[in-house]
Amino acid sequence: MLYMVLIVITVVLILQSVYLVYYKNQIKDIGNQLSFISEHHSFKMIQTQIKPKELNQLIHLCNAMLRNQRKLNQNFIEQKEEINATIMSLSHDIRTPLTSLDGYLQLAERSQSSKEKTEYVLMAQSRIKQIITLIDELFLYTKLKNPDYNLELKPVDVIKVLNQRLFTFIYNFSRIGYEPNISLAEAPLYIEGNESALERVYENIIKNYFLHGAGALSVRYEEQQDEVLFHFSNMQKRNQLLNLDKIFTRFYKDDPSRPNQSSGLGLFIVKSLMDKMNGYVQADLKDDQFCISLAFKKSAKENRHVHRHEPAQNFNSRG
């Protein structure tokens, strides 16, 4: 009887020793796999043949850490590529007006005519304003890329802000010979927004029209139960190709080879500010008619009003 007990104990000890050896080898193998992945930047995952509960949990945690680290690395690479693309795009956009600025100043210095000097100085000043605008857009772009950057939202009369922005471009409309077709409410219309952000949204859309649009700009509003929409539409220029899927992405230009005063950030900023104000923006193209639509949530103040809004048509009477 004692002999049988000793045999059983011996077998158990042998099996336990074999299991511990395998267990130790598996831990060693996990360490070797981690070392290989680290040295060769491999995308492999930790694997093992024997999976007791403790080892299985260890492998699961190691693989989770590897996935998280690879995700962080990928994000870092994408951010690095984005920074490089930003620097390249903006360096080109800023270098162009700087070159012409230098040229105009040299011409002004050499010119013997006071009239010509004045013209060259005015052209140089326009290039300085262009550079300031580009830098301002870059500054706002960097702020909007920060996920912690938020806007203070409060009831804003969206009609009043839009009319004020339109009026600031009255000289530009007069210069191109097209008066905008406007159909807006006479009475105040309140949304939850930020006045400064609204001004920038309208300004960028109107500037986009002057840079890329043709014909007259049409602006109309559409009031729904819980939101209000604004539609900015105009004819598309001939031979202009638009990618509606990319139009709100950073540095998008319909023709990158053609120089203009756009940084490619204007509509990206529009979308980012609309997102910050819990609204949305979309672009449509139908029969050469390009349209940008904005949608805002009505404020609680607006929902308490019972007046009806009648559209107004006269642009020149607004101030």
* Residue 77, pLDDT above cutoff 60: yes
Q: What is the pLDDT at residue 44?
A: 83
149 assigned to some structural domain: no
Residues 68 and 78 in one domain: no
Tokens linked to 199? 């001004």
Backbone angles phi, psi at 189, to 5 degrees: -135, 115
Q: How far apart are CA 55 and CA 261, in angstroms?
A: 61
**How many domains in the chain?**
3
Q: 97-110 in b/e burial notation, b at 16+ Cβ within 10 A?
A: beebbeebeebbee
For residue 11 the two structure tokens come to 């077998």
Distance (Å, whole) CA 280 – CA 273: 9
CA distance 305 to 159: 15
CATH number (domain holding residue 172): 3.30.565.10
* pLDDT averaged over every residue in the chain: 79
Whether residues 209 and 171 share a domain: the answer is yes
With contact defined as beta carbons under 8 Å apart, do 290 and 283 qualify? yes
Q: Is 37 domain-assigned?
A: yes
Same domain, 95 and 126: yes
Q: Residue 297 falls within a domain, yes or no?
A: yes
Q: Could you tell me whether strands 181-185 and 213-223 are parallel, antiparallel, or unpaired per DSSP bridges?
A: parallel
pLDDT at 318: 39
Domain co-membership, 252 together with 167: yes
At residue 306, the pLDDT reads 41
186 and 287, same domain (yes or no): yes
64-67: list long-range contacts, CB under 8 Å, 24+ apart. Answer: 66/37
Residue 282 CA to residue 274 CA, distance in Å, equals 11
| Separation between Cα atoms, residue 296 and residue 224, nearest integer Å | 10
Kindly state whether residues 176 and 138 are assigned to the same domain: no
- The answer as to whether 317 is a domain residue is no
**By residue range, what is the domain housing residue 17?**
2-73
Q: Residue 89: which CATH number? A: 1.10.287.130
- Confidence (pTM): 0.64
- What pLDDT does residue 307 have? 47
If asked whether residues 136 and 257 sit together in one domain, one would say no
pLDDT value of position 251: 64
Return the pLDDT at 92. 64
Find out whether 265 and 137 touch, Cβ atoms under 8 Å. Answer: yes
Which of 11-15, 30-34, 248-252, 268-272 bottoms out in mean pLDDT, i.e. has the lowest? Answer: 248-252
3-state secondary structure of 215: strand
d(CA 119, CA 104) in angstroms, rounded, equals 9
With respect to residue 253, please indicate whether it lies within any of the assigned structural domains: yes
**131 part of a folded domain:** yes
Once rounded to an integer, what is the mean pLDDT over residues 216-233? 89
Is the model's pLDDT at 255 over the cut of 70?
A: no
* DSSP symbols for 183-252: EEESS--EEEE-HHHHHHHHHHHHHHHHHHEEEEEEEEEEE-SSEEEEEEEEEEPTT----TTTTTSTT-
Burial of residue 35 (CB within 10 Å: 0-12, 13-18, 19+) is exposed
pLDDT of 162 > 80? The answer is yes
What pLDDT, on a 0 to 100 scale, did the predictor assign at position 274? 92
Distance from C-alpha of 10 to C-alpha of 126, rounded to nearest angstrom: 95
Residue 225's pLDDT is 82
Report pLDDT digits (tens) over 19-71: 777 777 778 888 888 888 888 778 888 877 766 777 788 888 888 888 898 88
One domain, residues 158 and 300: yes
pLDDT of 317 > 50? The answer is no
**Residue 122 counted as domain residue:** yes
- pLDDT for 312 beyond 60: no
Look at residue 316 and tell me whether its pLDDT is greater than 80: no
Range with the lowest mean pLDDT among 70-74, 130-134, 200-204? 130-134
Q: Are residues 308 and 160 in the same domain?
A: yes
Is residue 282 located within the same domain as residue 304?
yes
Whether residue 295 lies inside any domain: the answer is yes
The tens digit of pLDDT for each residue in 179-215 reads 888 888 888 888 888 999 999 999 999 988 888 888 8
Q: Among 39, 73, 107, identify where a domain stops.
A: 73
Q: Which of 144, 171, 194 is the last residue of a domain?
A: 144
How far apart are the C-alpha atoms of 127 and 94, rounded to whole Å?
10
Average pLDDT for 233-254:
73
Residue 42 DSSP symbol: -
Question: pLDDT per residue over 256-276, tens digit each?
Answer: 444 455 566 788 889 999 999
Give the pLDDT band (50/70/90) at residue 254.
low
Q: Are residues 80 and 137 in the same domain?
A: yes
> Last residue of a domain, which of 58, 73, 88?
73
Assess whether 36 and 86 both reside in one domain.
Answer: no
Question: Average pLDDT of 4-31?
Answer: 77
